[in-house]
Amino acid sequence: MTTYRTKSVRIILLVAVALILSSVVSCSSSGGYNPTVFDYGYEAEKIAAKPIKKVVLAPVSMGAPAPSYLQKRERKVKAMVKQYLESNGYEVLPNYHFENAWKQASRTYGNVYDPSTGKIDIKAWRGAMITTGEILRDQTDTDAIIFADLFEHEVQHSNSMKHYARWYGVTRKPALQGSGTGVPVDFDWSQRIKAASLMVTVYDISLTRVFASRGGIDTLYAVDLKRSNPAFVRRKKMLKSEDNIEEGIELAFHPFITMKNYPGNK
């Protein structure tokens, strides 16, 4: 026979489970409004007038290339960007169209990026883009050029109870690596550390910029618990979460491609 006390216990357990599930969901980046979403630029009227269906995904960066330790992961990110575009109905033309045009332009204007100084030659970049655009217009039927650049920048974890880091629309928990006694109570969570994000820029074939935005992916540093005094160190395994990469891609392309449950106001 079921007693009143047994029913009460069951109700308490069900409520507890619901609260736990609610807490888990609320920790997700896509669980609600995030004020850190990037203030994107989107030329909706120009795109509506000349719809974009065929694109070239540029194999070079708009700015400085990603650090050497991120370049392997950048290839993975760009492969996922290509899949994302195709899954949303875009035809992605082979990269060699852009590569051949860019090499031809570089012979005229010189190297766009100087690794010795870490600077971009703006004049060379503009000249290379103009020449590349002309070649693509003559030799392909592409509608747009898309740059999808993985880049490194600084973020901070919060000193609040859960120590989240929030940027470009994402919320990330602190990463921990190694075994130890835990993070000291007086640990300085507000130290500036490196994170990776995706910057997307879309030019139509006349080289008018019609879209630009960014989406956060993940932190690149973790708290090393093996040390006698735990400290932030570069993570041994970076950008391994495909879910985080997918979220960054969706954020960086919104509203060029509408993101479901976009965490911003528009």
112 neighbors 93 (Cβ within 8 angstroms):
no
Maximum distance among all alpha carbons in the chain?
89
CA end-to-end distance (rounded Å), the chain: 55
User: What tokens were used for 92?
Assistant: 């992605």
Task: Write the DSSP symbol of residue 116.
Answer: T
Closest to 193 in 3D by CA, of 223, 169, 230: 223
Residue 181 CA to its chain's centroid (Å): 33
Q: Give the lowest-confidence range in 11-25, 73-87, 90-104.
A: 11-25
- Mean pLDDT along residues 94-114: 89
pLDDT for res 25: 36
Exposure string of 3-40, with b = 16+ CB inside 10 Å and e = fewer, is eeeeeeeeeeeeeeeeeeeeeeeeeebbeeebeebbeb
Q: What is the pLDDT of residues 160-199, one digit of tens each?
A: 889 999 999 999 999 999 887 789 999 999 999 999 999 9
| pLDDT tops 80 at residue 124 | yes
